[in-house]
Amino acid sequence: MIQAILVFNNHGKPRLVRFYQRFPEEIQQQIVRETFHLVLKRDDNICNFLEGGSLIGGSDYKLIYRHYATLYFVFCVDSSESELGILDLIQVFVETLDKCFENVCELDLIFHMDKVHYILQEVVMGGMVLETNMNEIVAQMEAQNRLEKSENFPMTLHLSTR
């Protein structure tokens, strides 16, 4: 199970916070902060696993993260997940973001947090891996975007005729 997915930038500003277990907001912020401090002091050339331990859930949990340019993607997972598998999953998630936003950068995540969530929802659901095939994820996202457009289009038409 995945317990939490956190995305924050090099300064610890949260860009996506997704917990699959209930924590009050202030604890969530604290976890984000502490996680940030944990990963911040790690060089890029050391391993991507961290025993988060006390942060969430205890010794069964691990932090698995990747660092891309200005962003950290951190997954907190328990022992039922394969470590290398989750690293791949982060890669899939990021590549999907890249496809959906066309050359994703931090600004996309800042201004479209909702969309990032929707994409994530196609990858992970309720803490379990839902889909790992990028093309499938992108296809579903596009279908939903089309649906959204078709809903909103009549309204703009309606406005313009007035």
Partner 1 sequence: MALKMVKGSIDRMFDKNLQDLVRGIRNHKEDEAKYISQCIDEIKQELKQDNIAVKANAVCKLTYLQMLGYDISWAAFNIIEVMSASKFTFKRIGYLAASQCFHEGTDVIMLTTNQIRKDLSSPSQYDTGVALTGLSCFVTPDLARDLANDIMTLMSHTKPYIRKKAVLIMYKVFLKYPESLRPAFPRLKEKLEDPDPGVQSAAVNVICELARRNPKNYLSLAPLFFKLMTSSTNNWVLIKIIKLFGALTPLEPRLGKKLIEPLTNLIHSTSAMSLLYECVNTVIAVLISLSSGMPNHSASIQLCVQKLRILIEDSDQNLKYLGLLAMSKILRTHPKSVQSHKDLILQCLDDKDESIRLRALDLLYGMVSKKNLMEIVKRLMTHVDKAEGTTYRDELLTKIIDICSQSNYQYITNFEWYISILVELTRLEGTRHGHLIAAQMLDVAIRVKAIRKFAVSQMSMLLDSAHLVASSTQRNGICEVLYAAAWICGEFSEHLQEPHQTLEAMLRPKVTTLPGHIQAVYVQNVVKLYASILQQQEQAAEPEAAQEVTQLMVERLPQFVQSADLEVQERASCILQLVKHVQKLQGKGVPVAEEVSALFAGELNPVAPKAQKKVPVPEGLDLDAWINEPPSDSESEDEKPKAIFHDEEQRQARHRQPEVDEEELARRREARKQEQANNPFYIKSSPSPQKAPVTAALLSQRYQDAPGVEHIPVVQIDLSVPLKVPGMPMSDQYVKLEEERRHRQRLEKDKKKRRKKKEKEKDKKGKHRRHSSLPTESDEDIAPAQQVDIVTEEMPENALPSDEDDKDPNDPYRALDIDLDKPLADSEKLPIQKHRNAETPKSPEKEDVPVVEKKSKKPKKKEKKHKEKEREKEKKEEKEKKAEDLDFWLSTTPPPATAPAPIPSTEELAVNAVTAPDNTCEGLRREEAEDENDEAEQDPERKSSRHKKKKHKKEKEERTKDKKKVKKKQPEPEEEAAGPVENGAAEEEPAPPMSSYCLLAENSYIKMTYDIQASLQKDSQVTVSVILENQSSSFLKNMELNVLDSLNAKMARPEGSSVHDGVPVPFQLPPGVSNEAQFVFTIQSIIMAQKLKGTLSFIAKDADGATHEKLDFRLHFSCSSYLVTTPCYSDAFAKLLESGDLSMSSIKVDGISMSFQNLLAKICFHHHFSVVERVDSCASMYSRSIQGHHVCLLVKKGEHSVSVDGKCSDSTLLSNLLEEMKATLAQC
Using CB under 8 A, list all residues that contact partner 1.
1, 14, 16-18, 20, 22, 24-26, 28-29, 42-43, 45-51, 80, 82-85, 87-88, 110-114, 117-118, 121, 125-133, 136, 140, 143-144, 147-148, 151-152, 155, 159, 162
Q: Least distance to partner 1 from the beta carbon of 49, Å? A: 5
* Rounded Cα gap, residues 158 and 160, in angstroms: 6
* Rounded Cα gap, residues 7 and 67, in angstroms: 10
Q: Are 99 and 79 in contact (CB under 8 A)?
A: no
- Retrieve residue 129's tokens: 């891996």
Return the number of the residue (98 or 121) whose C-beta is nearest partner 1.
121
Q: Least distance to partner 1 from the beta carbon of 2, Å? A: 11
The enclosing H or E element of 124 equals strand 124-125
Q: Least distance to partner 1 from the beta carbon of 99, Å? A: 18
